[in-house]
Structure 1
Amino acid sequence: MMIFTSLLLLLATSAHGQTVYDAAHNVTAITGTWSSGSQNVVTGSGFATPAQESFTYPSTTGMSYSFTDDGYYEIARYRMTSNGTVPTCITGVMNWCHGTYVLASNGSIVMTPFGDGYQQIQDPCAAVSNFIEIYNYVELYVLWNIYQDPVKGYTLQLYQYDGTPLPPQYLISTSPNMLPTQALRNVSATTSATVQNAAVVNANAGERRWEAAGMTGLLTVISGLGLASLLL
């Protein structure tokens, strides 16, 4: 886990250089709970029950991120993806995870999970129409900033590993609304192995993963930057 987190930090540093944090770009602290859209998706006990691997479905889709001032985070995401070929085949995904985060000096955020995250996928047209699976991946956001929206107020903008922005999230509480900042359910040895052999970055329409086989691409980039020796 540590080596992949280090690689993500190095990659972000090389690609984006230094970012100056000032009042024009970060008008308030990231600490608190943020939510997108109609703000019906909110982290905390009203969204996920990890001990039972269950969810409480919000009335609308969206995402919510919470951060403490001592390095903990929680994410709640609910999305629906349409199928252009078969309009009735709409996929719904409920996703929850939490762990620790690092605000890097280059302007990126690296989020490392505790290992107890999970997601529920519902697809009426799939062979298995409703199932829950482990969600346990490091997430990289190459850039973030907070600005003042004239209507919504403080607004958090996160950018994915490729620079694509996530939907803006609005501050709904300066006190983070989160579940306890520790592993909340047992995870198997298989799950731990999966984490050690994969790194992930968040995508708006789905999770994009550098799985074990895909790490070659990441290492090629690192090598091209003259950093391959750091893997030894």
Structure 2
Amino acid sequence: MTTSPAPRDLAFVRLKHATQLADFQYVELVAVEGDQATVKVVGPDSEDDESGFSMPIETFSRRLVPAQERELWPGSFLAHPVAFVQTSADGVDEWAYGIVSGYTASPVETTLHLVCQHGPTRLALHSTTAVIKVNALNYALQTGSGVNAAGLSPMELLEEQNKLVASCQRHRSGPPKAVMTNVSVPYNGTEVVPLMNPASPHLGRV
């Protein structure tokens, strides 16, 4: 017997399911009237005063996710480039970059699936996991990549990323020389990197 969705139930949807969205989002059921569900966007990046919108209740029902996803919001990382801590072959916890291509969630474990330049990676997600959503510039320049995480905290890395963006915004002709000489890994403008369109789950390389 199928249980009908109830207020505060959670669904994970995208542009295909609701034209009001630009990328993947969690939505919470507010009310049901006939065959339409009134929902609002929820998650770590949502505003408290998010306005609601309507979508077919059938669509909402097909996209239901467990309430436990409220704890870590794994879907909020989907299709985004991220910086995360990865253990190297030598056993050193270093900052690395990748694209979140998916996730799995169960009552026991939540895992982010990442596409990195050197192959697929699985990252166990906990409340203490160091993972930062980044913009295209920091993803391209791999700010802090390869640096020992013991010597560069998440807040320090975020500060470096913000400084890089601010510096590049002041030089519209491209990243200034001072930035390029201080990146932790050599920048190769011809290198192909994985990217994912936030409006769809399709992986590409540019």
Query: Please, what TM-score do these two structures have when normalized by structure 1?
Result: 0.23
Larger RCO (alpha carbons 8 Å, 6+ apart): 1
Query: Please, what TM-score do these two structures have when normalized by structure 2?
Result: 0.25
